[in-house]
Amino acid sequence: MRLLGVLLVLLSLTAVDALRLSEYSVVADVGIDDSVSQNVSFSVFNDGDVAVSAINMSVPEASVVSGALLSNGSLALAEPLAPGGSVRVSLLFSASGLVSSGKYHKVFMSSISLPFSADSFSMKLVLPAGFAFTEVSPQALFSSDGRRIISFWSGESVPAGERLVFSARYEQMFLKQETIVGIPITEWDIVVPGLVFAFLFGYFLAAGAASVLMQKIGVVKARLSGDEAQVVKVLENGAETQADIQKTTGFSKAKLSRLLRGMEERKLISKKTKGRTNLVSLE
């Protein structure tokens, strides 16, 4: 049976409607052998008037769990969740059947159904080294860690039970075989064009660095909430302390901390400790 990365939460409570998710994040790391390591993290908030005694979540048996207990393939809270309280849970497990192979390409597909509403959601797909995206759905942002290419999806106010489907087609950028699509090649057939491309790419990258940066900021803004866009606007001219960002935006300390934590997890900003506050800058 194909594991499509669907986590089904089975709640044995009468106060299910009082629970909500926040900062639901999925990182899918694809291996060269088509295996997928998934890191799922989220916060559970109790907005009701009664303490939640247990939350049972069906997860793979081999999962590594933090913030909760794993018992017989289910999750349970170590302590009751009081009204107004929250708990952060993370899961790490391997999934199979998410990647299918064609003759010259591979396809990743994952379907996720949230058990109850989520304030925000993000999905990050990391390809193996040497592979590049040729098509993704829905539209995504792209980045690289210097070795591998990454796609990123995000959204807000996801209703309970809504099925989110993510797919990506990707191909190997350079083949080590002596032929490419049946055409014999030599090492110089790759090296010479590669050097020319690298020179031209470096030249235009240096010449248009400032323009590209502003375009990137514009694309990022289009994917942010109104509150997050205010934070990015403050940081456009350089790093600022968290205290100064709070003064400029007028956000409460708790609200700003929550926003920055979510943006840091999505690699939009970085934080460094400076005295009794944090120095925040765009990633």
pLDDT value of position 127: 95
pLDDT value of position 7: 39
Does the pLDDT value for residue 26 go beyond 90? yes
Reported in sequence order, the residue ranges of 114-260 that DSSP labels E, i.e. its strands, are 118-126, 131-137, 141-144, 149-158, 163-172, 179-180, 183-184, 240-241
Q: Which residue's structure tokens are 């031209």?
A: 200
Does the pLDDT value for residue 65 go beyond 50? yes
Hey, is 183 helix, strand or coil?
Answer: strand
If pLDDT is split at 50, 70 and 90, which confidence band does 67 have?
Answer: confident
Cα gap 55→74, rounded to integer Å? 9
Least Cα distance to 133 among 152, 157, 150 occurs for 150
Mean pLDDT of all residues in 77-103: 87
- Domain 210-282 in CATH 1.10.10.10? The answer is yes
**143 or 211: whose pLDDT is higher?**
143
pLDDT value of position 221: 52
Q: Phi and psi of 66, rounded to 5°?
A: -135, 145
Cα gap 237→232, rounded to integer Å? 10
Instruction: Output Rg (C-alpha) for the chain, integer angstroms.
Output: 22
Burial environment of residue 55 by CB neighbours within 10 A (0 to 12, 13 to 18, 19 or more): buried
pTM of the model: 0.55
pLDDT value of position 134: 92
User: By the 8 A CB rule, do 105 and 169 touch?
Assistant: yes
Cα gap 80→225, rounded to integer Å? 32
Hey, is 7 helix, strand or coil?
Answer: coil
Least Cα distance to 44 among 12, 27, 67 occurs for 67
Q: Which of 75-79, 118-122, 145-149 has the lowest mean pLDDT?
A: 75-79
pLDDT value of position 38: 92
pLDDT value of position 9: 35
Which of the given ranges, 34-38, 112-116, 181-185, 223-227, has the highest pLDDT on average?
34-38
pLDDT value of position 196: 64
Does the pLDDT value for residue 203 go beyond 80? no
CA distances from 159 to 10, 16, 25, 120, 156 (A): 16, 14, 15, 10, 9
pLDDT value of position 211: 54
Token pair recorded at residue 143: 């980045």
pLDDT value of position 37: 93
Cα gap 3→93, rounded to integer Å? 12
Mean pLDDT of all residues in 7-22: 53
Mean pLDDT of all residues in 86-95: 87
Mean pLDDT of all residues in 215-224: 55
Q: pLDDT (tens digit, 9 = 90+) per residue, 130-183?
A: 999 999 999 999 999 888 999 999 988 888 888 889 999 999 886 444 444 444
Cα gap 247→253, rounded to integer Å? 10
User: By the 8 A CB rule, do 41 and 18 touch?
Assistant: no
User: By the 8 A CB rule, do 123 and 26 touch?
Assistant: yes
Least Cα distance to 140 among 101, 114, 108, 102 occurs for 108
**244 or 181: whose pLDDT is higher?**
244
Token pair recorded at residue 190: 């790759």
pLDDT value of position 128: 93
Mean pLDDT of all residues in 103-116: 87
Token pair recorded at residue 137: 């759905």
What homologous superfamily is domain 9-172 in, according to CATH?
A: tricorn interacting facor f3 domain (2.60.40.1730)
Domain range summary for the chain, segments of one domain joined by +: 9-172, 210-282
Beta bridge partners of 70: 75
